[in-house]
Amino acid sequence: MKAVLYFNEDGTGHCFYTEAIPLQELGLLTVKRTTQVKFNENSQCWEVLDLHDEVAFEHPSRQACLDWEQEYFNR
């Protein structure tokens, strides 16, 4: 897993949260979840849902969904 931390010109940072980077050492955090990973009982798959509850990715493995999230948001 590759951890990437980006900084804006105003000094604020953003990243896909991981404990690989001790973010609390940088100061106060504001955490916002961009997606949700939920199990769909009808399809029997895990789904990555965006802010509009649309399926961005699905897979029978929850870990595959988490891996996809990390890959997608860190590119």
Cα–Cα distance measured from residue 31 to residue 10, given in angstroms and rounded to the nearest whole number: 18
Query: In this predicted model, what pLDDT tens digit does every residue of 9-51 receive, in sequence order?
Result: 998 888 877 788 888 898 898 888 889 999 999 999 999 999 8
pLDDT at 39: 98
Question: How far from chain centre, in Å, is Cα 7?
Answer: 17
Instruction: Report pTM.
Output: 0.69
pLDDT at 38: 97
Query: In this predicted model, what pLDDT tens digit does every residue of 49-75 receive, in sequence order?
Result: 998 999 999 999 999 999 998 888 777
The span from the first CA to the last CA of the chain, in angstroms, equals 12
